[in-house]
Amino acid sequence: MDLSKAQFEELIEEMLRRLDEDPQRPGLLKTPHRVAASLRWLTRGCCLDADKVLREAMFEEPHESMVLVRDIELYSMCEHHMLPFFGVAHVAYLPNGRIVGLSKMARVVDIFARRLQVQERLTDQIAEALQAALEPAGVGVVIEAYHLCMMMRGVEKQHSKTVTSALRGAFRDDPRTRDEFLRLVQGGYSLR
């Protein structure tokens, strides 16, 4: 269903009424517009192509050692409750004749995070996108996130963190590569 901007705002206004709110009170007058714009922004990733983003910034390079971008901030929306979850992604790959611009790894995280999502799928989608575009010797993705659906409602556990991983190729099959990746993700090496 493709809704016009006005129709989307009308739905949000109706939602406010069903929550026993008065959409005409001063504090809520512009809320339908703001919520519609916010939801479009927060779910914009479904209109973006991760493969295209990666392929536009690939370079032939004989580098064979692990490339890791740690602590990529991510913000997403739980598809079950439409509440935010947020945290960091650690994304690595073992080049196989090709590298990609580092910022594109963060862009891929955003593309998949900015949609209604579950963390498990998000982790796999990032790994699969890198695997498909770069055809590396391996890919590793770890996501650590806090879910407001667990913190604000339901069990109300304020300090629970969810950790998911997706390992492909050497990251899955070679214990030494997997251990190096996990050690680096956990901060085993520091420039400080």
Active-site hit among 9, 13, 90, 147: 147
Is there a catalytic annotation at residue 117? Answer: no
Give the pLDDT confidence of 62-81 residue by residue, as tens digits.
998 999 999 999 999 999 99
Where in the chain are the domains?
Answer: 5-42, 47-185
Give the pLDDT confidence of 82-117 residue by residue, as tens digits.
999 999 999 999 999 999 999 999 999 999 999 999
Give the pLDDT confidence of 127-162 residue by residue, as tens digits.
999 999 999 999 999 999 999 999 998 888 888 999
1 pLDDT exceeds 70? Answer: no
What string of DSSP letters covers the chain? Answer: ----HHHHHHHHHHHHHHTT--TTSGGGTTHHHHHHHHHHHHTGGGG--HHHHHHTTEEE----S-EEEEEEEEEEEETTT--EEEEEEEEEEE-SSEEE-HHHHHHHHHHHHSSEE-HHHHHHHHHHHHHHHH--SEEEEEEEEEEHHHHTSTT--TT--EEEEEEEEHHHH-HHHHHHHHHHHTT-S---
Is there a catalytic annotation at residue 186? Answer: no
Q: How confident is the model at residue 188 (pLDDT cuts 50, 70, 90)?
A: low
Is there a catalytic annotation at residue 149? Answer: yes
Name the fold adopted by 47-185: GTP Cyclohydrolase I, domain 2 (3.30.1130)
Is there a catalytic annotation at residue 46? Answer: no
